[in-house]
Amino acid sequence: MIKLNNIQRNFLVGNQTVHALDNINLTINDGEYVSVMGPSGSGKSTLLNLLGLLDSPTEGSYFLNGRNVTELDENEQAMTRNQNIGFVFQVFHLIPRLTAAENIELPLVLAGISESVRKERVHHALESMKLLDRAHHKPQELSGGQRQRVAIARATITEPSILLADEPTGNLDQKSGLNVIETLELLNQKGITLIVVTHDAALGARSTRSIGMIDGRIDSDSVDKKSANHSGNSPGESDVTHT
């Protein structure tokens, strides 16, 4: 479970302090499917970076599965990222010199897992993403949709509890985008907490909970109860009344 208490994230721009996140209180339960929406500069990506432990709050505390992760040192945060959090980026961020299989394998390499175990898990991931025949292809030899599926396989190879996706379909055509979002939703249905940052209203509408942000604050937090009940997950809460 994710719990943010009075999170403040300020940046100093020149002499001015910009409140990228302003007094955020948010709870996201395990297995939720959350979309974060809002205009540019509203703090969506900053929130995602904080949730992914890529950034630290200026004030407030972040509890992940009951543990205050803002108090962890740099190494512990890296380990937490490796084991509990997966990232899917708009621009895929695949390493060009590595094959699809090697890109997927990276988090396991960083975790120090033995090669035999890695190969087995990578094979399974490639199979589930229908990429077995592309295992030894370099990213530039793959289509956009395939690249994003490689990125999803990489993000989930360590079986994290949270998957953070920043505009996952932003660089894809409609068909590939739909394919990618269905893959993510399938993972959510299997129990992973899925948090998607997007500008795309249609994509946001697919989630069971939609958080709207404006000027670093949570402006709305709505739950599609039907979908939420359908997926069997009960939503968490924010400082904004659910609709």
Question: Contact residues for other proteins (CB under 8 A)?
Answer: 49, 52, 54-55, 74-75, 78-79, 81-83, 87, 89, 91, 93, 95-98, 102, 106-107, 109-112, 115, 154, 158
Least spacing, CB of residue 240 vs other proteins, in Å: 26
Comparison of 66 and 112: residue with beta carbon closer to other proteins = 112
Least spacing, CB of residue 115 vs other proteins, in Å: 8
- Per the CB < 8 A criterion, the answer to whether 205 and 222 are in contact is no
Comparison of 153 and 223: residue with beta carbon closer to other proteins = 153
Least spacing, CB of residue 170 vs other proteins, in Å: 14
Comparison of 54 and 178: residue with beta carbon closer to other proteins = 54
Comparison of 18 and 178: residue with beta carbon closer to other proteins = 18
Q: What are phi and psi of 83, to 5 degrees?
A: -95, -25
Least spacing, CB of residue 40 vs other proteins, in Å: 13
